[in-house]
Amino acid sequence: MLEPRGSHRPTIIYRPIQPSDLEVLEQIHLALFPIRYERDFFLNVVHGHGIVSWAAVDGQNNELVGFITTRLISERESEIADLLRHRSSRKELMLVYILTLGVVEHYRNYGIATSLVCEVIKYASSITNCRAVYLHVISYNLPAIKFYRKMLFKFIRRLQNFYYINGQHYDSYLFVYFVNGSHSPCSPLNIVAAVANYLRGLLKMLASKLWRNEETHIPVWSKCRETKTLLVTPNKRILGAENSACRVCTSQLT
């Protein structure tokens, strides 16, 4: 297995996963995930049978240090079909589902996971009828949740008892990254927030107009009576030593 490196920053190369990565790929999955994947899964990954994947390889020794595996699926077969706004098109809408993403521990904090996810987003964006990249995160994996939020994935919903691992149920968080101009319809909460913001702005505008009306109807002389100065004409500045105190008055008359 991989040994920890020194403090130098490694040179990482990104490429498709190859058959030669099979054994290391299995070992890393076994070390990182609580779910045990069947041998067929890894064979499909390395041979590209229904799975599109990327590898992160240390350029110094060509060892696999990170990976991401995905599957292209039909929008109709997905669980987020209700989130997509349909447009009249002859093409069937597609989605990219992230199956697994992992980086060997001592290669973390080098931006490898970010680069791998970016490869997936670029791939999804290159497919004209693809509308989103999505995935599930187990509820207790807080670093992963923080990571996908940082990557601007949108949290959609929490799925109760989605995982069943070692005799225990765990919830899942569903995250989606929309591509090619797609976006989720407004939820009831979004609508309420939008209405509240609109009403708040409307109230501010009405309050401002009322204040201006009251300001306009106050007699000019009453506003300036304490200055003991004369108003020559509406378009002239106020004369006297206390001129600055009544400049608002003349502006209301112009």
Q: What is the mean pLDDT of residues 113-135?
A: 97
Q: What is the mean pLDDT of residues 139-153?
A: 96
Question: Given this model, what pLDDT does residue 83 score?
Answer: 77
One-letter-per-residue 3-state SS of the chain: CCCCCCCCCCCEEEECCCHHHHHHHHHHHHHHCCCCCCHHHHHHHHHCCCCEEEEEEECCCCCEEEEEEEEEEEHHHCCCHHHCCCCCCCCCCEEEEEEEEEECHHHCCCCHHHHHHHHHHHHHHHCCCEEEEEEEEECCCHHHHHHHHHCCCEEEEEEEEEEEECCEEEEEEEEEEECCCCCCCCCHHHHHHHHHHHHHHHHHHHHHHHHHHHHHHCCHHHHHHHHCCCCCCCCCCCCCCCHHHHHHHHHHHC
Question: Given this model, what pLDDT does residue 245 score?
Answer: 38
Using the predicted structure, report yes or no on whether residue 130 has a pLDDT greater than 50.
yes
Question: Given this model, what pLDDT does residue 84 score?
Answer: 74
pLDDT confidence tier of residue 220, bands split at 50, 70 and 90: very low
Using the predicted structure, report yes or no on whether residue 6 has a pLDDT greater than 60.
no
Give the C-alpha distances (Å, rounded to integers) separating 33 from 44, 67, 99, 102: 18, 13, 12, 9
Q: What is the mean pLDDT of residues 108-115?
A: 97
The mean-pLDDT minimum among 14-28, 162-176, 201-215 falls in: 201-215
Residues of the chain with pLDDT > 70, as a percent, come to 68
Q: How far apart are CA 131 and CA 181, in angstroms?
A: 8
Using the predicted structure, report yes or no on whether residue 75 has a pLDDT greater than 70.
yes
Q: How far apart are CA 84 and CA 76, in angstroms?
A: 10
Q: What is the mean pLDDT of residues 21-37?
A: 95
The mean-pLDDT minimum among 10-19, 26-35, 204-213 falls in: 204-213
Instruction: Write down the domain spans for the chain.
Output: 12-80+91-203
Q: What is the mean pLDDT of residues 3-27?
A: 87
Using the predicted structure, report yes or no on whether residue 251 has a pLDDT greater than 60.
no
Residues of the chain with pLDDT > 90, as a percent, come to 59
Q: What is the mean pLDDT of residues 107-126?
A: 97
Q: Considering the domain 12-80+91-203 in this protein, what is its CATH number?
A: 3.40.630.30
pTM (predicted TM-score): 0.69
The mean-pLDDT minimum among 107-111, 193-197, 230-234 falls in: 230-234
The 10s digit of each residue's pLDDT in 229-248 is 333 333 333 333 333 333 33
The mean-pLDDT minimum among 1-10, 97-106, 164-173, 214-223 falls in: 214-223
The mean-pLDDT minimum among 1-5, 200-204, 240-244 falls in: 240-244
